[in-house]
Amino acid sequence: MAGLARAKLPAMMRTDRDHAWIRAAFIGFSLAFVLGCPGDKGTPPEKSALPPSLLLVVIDTLRADAVSAYGDGPGTTPNLDALAAQGQRFTRAYAPSPWTVPSHASLLSGLEIPAHGVGLGGRVVLPEAVDTLAERLRAAGYQTAGFSENALVSGDFGFDQGFDHFSVRTAQQQFAAGQKGAINVEEEVRLWLDGRDPERPFFIFINLYDPHEPYTVREDNRFLPPGIATDDVKSLGAGGRTSHLICDRIPSKAELGILRGLYLGDVAAADAKLGALLALLEARSIENLVTVVTSDHGEHFGERRLLDHEFSVQEEVLRVPLVVRRPGAEPATIQRPVELRDVARSLLGWAGAETSPITARGLESGALNPDTASPPPLVALYSDTRLHLPAVMDPGTAEEVQDFKRGGCGEEDRVYGDMLALTRFPYRLNWYARYPSEFLDLRQPGIATEADPSENPEAFAALERQAKRFAEHVGLGQATGAHPLPAKNEEALRSLGYID
């Protein structure tokens, strides 16, 4: 497993927010004319003496099947499982993007990616013109606080908008501390709760970063494969960056099992933090509390010769857990497909806050059974455009790092160019700027199997027309995309310390 080399991440610094471009697109923008089936008005807020307080927790990089309640995780998430047993568990919840920044932008705004712009054209900062969930709730009288272990979910990327209090450590601070996260979320939430106004409802947003690679090598990890001890993991070099170990560099089946075991250990660590946070709130007897736990994207472990969550719109990176517990709602398993931006629509509705011009339907719209609903298609995309990074991050080297990750890939690996996943249950069409489309069947939760277009040519043709029209409308496929990094440049990266 000598291939598990370490690569350093570029530091994240604050960038200027040039947001004039978004205003015209944001005001009145809707994809209804592209995809059809506009959303309804949602469910009116529940009547209560005090609007509900809201807790939104994102366990970063948590694929749904790593959660025990979703049937595959071997006891990884007892706290999330208990929450799911008391609330609503959505079996088909999808992220709008396979990476952090666009997914959080949609989750915290309720908007489609083309409406907020993050993740298209290299944009990485949420524009100030976008009305965020926190801004809308604060305008409705809420106290707002954010706590993030992920340096990308920070004010540098516009995610502190609307928060009275936002706690995060920058990438530089995390590197200096030598650890992910670098904040004591439980203690910081406790201190904030101690100082808040108990007569007002609150909105707390939390990002828990443990499951994101590099995975932690723990002295005690029961999720490692049988016969593998911690010393064995250390001797193999596991625990470093792995996002470049794709395509021809993909680790062996045994090594992938070790990496997945490390990942599940990090999932369990995040779940333990979740349990502590829930206990902290329960000890304060917060009345009328709505709790939502989800993720921003999943993770590959060898599927299609991929690791990490770049260069993909596959099920493994788009399907995420989503659990909602709120007063008066009966426990249920909901199979209807939903997307992360539905979360914002529902939270605002339950709070009685402003929702215009959000077109998301919300979590309560439609039937529990996906076969009886006729929802609009869900859209997820990956734009293979160079990110607009601050000059201090050395954009040239950052580009070389991204190309190095695909240095072992060929055209047959489908990792180059823009990608779009268009889901209209029970089918999904994966559109690629540089490859033929894929037609997938989603009827079995968590599994996307290849479908024969000839068996349902009408559905395939309709999805492909919609995908092409969407891609053209938002500008996907117009850039040439990245190309494999020449072998000589690998040594340059090594000399700069990005890889060992």
Q: Where are the domains of the chain?
A: 52-369, 381-496
pLDDT of 346 > 80? The answer is: yes
Q: Assign 185 a pLDDT band (cuts: 50, 70, 90).
A: very high
60 pLDDT higher than 50:
yes
For 303, which DSSP code? G
- CB contact at 8 A, 84 and 234: no
CATH of 52-369 among 3.30.360.10, 3.40.720.10, 3.90.650.10, 3.40.50.2020: 3.40.720.10
Is the separation of the CB atoms in 85 and 67 below 8 Å?
A: no
Distance of CA 439 to the CA centre of its chain: 23
Average pLDDT over residues 49-57: 92
CA angle (60, 61, 62) in 5-degree steps? 95
What is the structure's pLDDT at 19? 36
Lowest mean pLDDT among 71-75, 119-123, 222-226, 280-284: 71-75
Q: Identify which of 322, 321, 302, 325 has the alpha carbon closest to the alpha carbon of residue 312.
A: 302
State the average pLDDT over residues 356-385. 78
- Is residue 33 predicted with pLDDT exceeding 50? no
Interatomic CA distance for residues 395 and 71, integer angstroms: 42
Per-residue pLDDT tens for 204-257? 999 999 999 999 999 999 999 999 998 889 888 888 889 899 999 999 999 999
What integer is the mean pLDDT of 15-34?
A: 34
Alpha helices per DSSP H over 407-456: none
Query: Could you report the per-residue pLDDT of 389-407, keeping only the tens digit for each?
Result: 644 445 565 567 777 899 9
What pLDDT score was predicted for residue 72? 74
Which pLDDT value is given to residue 489?
Answer: 39
Residue 415: pLDDT over 70? yes
Confirm if 65 and 446 have CB atoms less than 8 A apart.
yes
Q: What's the pLDDT at 370?
A: 54
d(CA 86, CA 440): 32
Task: Measure the CA–CA gap between 203 and 247, rounded to whole angstroms.
Answer: 42
Instruction: Tell me the whole-structure pTM to 2 decimals.
Output: 0.85
Helix then strand count (H, E) for the chain reads 15, 16
Which residues, 6 or more positions from 306, have their beta carbon under 8 angstroms from its beta carbon?
A: 246, 247, 250, 300, 312, 314, 415
